[in-house]
Amino acid sequence: MKSSNLAPIKVGLLGIGTVGGGVFKVLNRNQEEILRRGGRGIEITMVADLDTARAQALVGPHVQVVSDARAVISNPEIDIVVELIGGYGIARQLVMQAIDAGKHVVTANKALLAVHGTEIFAAAHRKGVMVAFEAAVAGGIPIIKALREGLTANRIDWIAGIINGTTNFILSEMRDKGLDFDVVLKEAQRLGYAEADPTFDIEGVDAAHKATLMASIAFGIPVQFDKAYVEGITQLDAQDIKYAEQLGYRIKLLGIAKRAAGGIELRVHPSLIPGKRLIANVEGAMNAVMVQGDAVGTTLYYGKGAGSEPTASAVIADLVDITRLHTADAAQRVPHLAFQPDAMSDAPVLPISEVVTSYYLRLKVADEAGVLARVTGLLANAGISIDAVLQREADEVGGEGATQTDLIILTHECVEARMNAAMAQIQALPSVLAPITRIRKEELA
Ligand code: HSE
């Protein structure tokens, strides 16, 4: 094997937990293969972690371990800083300081980039350094690379992804076992799939961070997490999963970024998707992203969205990219957000009321003459076309002699504001006995 004459590029890790440990391990295990690809060795020479004893035991005596991350950033020998601390607080300061010190940055921090990306990428552009973030979206799946480079010929129409493993695990269990959300969440926590504080996952925030980043590189718009519509899975009822299945659909938490007539849709919410789509069969904690481009058609990317070595795989891919491009003219590198900074689009992110999609509605109604006609009449008056109706026999829902029943309606596409208005009228009918359940539906055709 030919080896490069150049000394290895020097890397400092900020945080050596699950992902940092994986980076260290995989870099060592595959160092020859990585050298053959990158043309230059990649060496972690310094690690900052609050638990210095644990960190030192992990990396051995030849790597310098410090407790203060600023010591890594100010070390002139370090070329690349890998930020694996997470969150928006100290991580933001450290990333900005690293850029200011002229270091390239690799980060898995989706929250930081989705919220403060504009400031961070602008600073990196001014300094001529790279900020790479493959690990921030869908862990080991190289979706950033695919969107930013592999699909660069395309006008991207939409992206729809299962980009949170915790919620996909919970939904898979709810469907498989017919269990309620709360029961499965506790089980997921016991098995270590869900964090002790699972809020960001189950409320859709983590998926929205990732969808925000994908929307930016797909459409060349600034990162705008504050404009994303975010709805998690906490209100999902096991019976809707069952009804969806009877109609040929599965319910998944999707992150969607879509080019629309008046701007960009950026939304995370539970969605019915046809059971026959490959992505509908992505189960457990796995992730998958569909991308529709005008030239390539529909593409699908599948893999592990979290975990030590899958995430390390993405971090190291960024390290190899930076190693190759380190000495290149900054203007020749792939732009952070795929589009040249002076060619970004100001297409607005649309409010949810302007999104166009189709719907699943579940109504608990009095089992009496004319109810179905009144409900469908209100939808017809609003210009909303019905795709399918499922009415359970009253005794299936409420037992023998029941006086109420479930009415499930699938609609064709309409703008959300129109659906909101129609739902308010339907809700006001005396025969509608409980709040209407509404779940959006995507055909992903
Ligand atoms: N908690 C995330 C998930 C992984 O469950 O997919 C990190 O974003």
pLDDT in tens, 33-85: 999 999 999 999 999 999 999 999 999 999 999 999 999 999 999 999 999 99
**Average pLDDT, stretch 367-387?**
96
Strand residue runs (E) in 138-281: 156-162, 229-230, 249-260, 263-274
| Structural domains of the chain, with CATH | 9-141+309-340 (3.40.50.720), 143-304 (3.30.360.10), 354-441 (3.30.70.260)
Identity at 394, one-letter amino acid code: A
Amino acid 169 reads: F
* H-helix segments, 368-428: 371-381, 394-398, 416-427
Rounded CA separation 267/230 (Å): 6
Q: Is 214 helix (H, G, I), strand (E, B) or coil?
A: helix
Judged against a pLDDT cut of 60, whether residue 398 lies above it is answered with no
Nearest CA to ligand 1 atom 2: 164
Over the range 45-66, which residues count as b (16 or more CB within 10 Å of their CB) and which as e? bbbbbeeeeebbebbeeebbbb
Query: How do beta strands 80-83 and 64-66 pair?
Result: unpaired
- Counting every residue written for the chain, the total comes to 445
Calculate the CA 209 to chain-centre distance: 6
For residue range 121-176, list pLDDT tens digits in order. 999 999 999 999 999 999 999 999 999 999 999 999 999 999 999 999 999 999 99
d(CA 339, CA 223) in angstroms, rounded, equals: 13
Report CA-CA distances (Å) from 419 to 38, 135, 276, 358, 442: 53, 38, 27, 9, 15
Nearest atom in ligand 1 to the alpha carbon of residue 166 is: 5
- Residue 327 above 90 pLDDT? no
Answer whether residue 399 shows pLDDT above 90.
Answer: no
Report the C-alpha gap between 200 and 98 in whole angstroms: 27
| Greatest alpha-carbon span in the chain | 85
177, pLDDT greater than 50: yes
pTM for the full predicted model: 0.96
Give the residue among 372, 378, 377 at the shortest CA–CA distance from 431: 372
Measured in angstroms, how far is the CA atom of residue 242 from the centroid of ligand 1?
A: 26
Report whether 31 contacts 41 (CB < 8 A). yes
Instruction: Find out whether the beta carbon of 306 lies less than 6 Å from any atom of ligand 1.
Output: yes
Inter-CA distances, 405 with 100, 126, 299, 429, 438, Å: 63, 63, 41, 15, 17
So what's the pLDDT on residue 127? 97
Range with the poorest average pLDDT among 53-57, 129-133, 310-314, 396-400 = 396-400
Atom 4, ligand 1: residue with shortest CA distance: 306
With a pLDDT cut of 70, the percent of the chain lying above it is 97
Known active-site residue 210:
yes
- 8 A C-beta contact, residue 223 and residue 338: no
Phi, psi values for residue 68, rounded to 5°? -105, 115
Coil/strand/helix, residue 152 = coil
Ligand 1 in reach of 305 Cβ (< 6 A): yes
Listed in sequence order, the DSSP H helices in 326-392 are 371-381
Q: Is the CB of 83 under 6 A from ligand 1?
A: no
Q: Could you give the CA distance from residue 277 to residue 414 in angstroms, rounded to a whole number?
A: 22
Q: How close is the Cα of 292 to the center of ligand 1, in Å?
A: 24
266: CB partners within 8 A, 6+ apart = 208, 211, 212, 215, 224, 227, 228, 229, 256, 257, 349, 350
Q: Where does the pLDDT of residue 1 fall: very low under 50, low under 70, confident under 90, or very high at 90 and above?
A: very low
Q: Other CB atoms closer than 10 Å to residue 252's CB: what's the count?
A: 24
DSSP state of 17: S
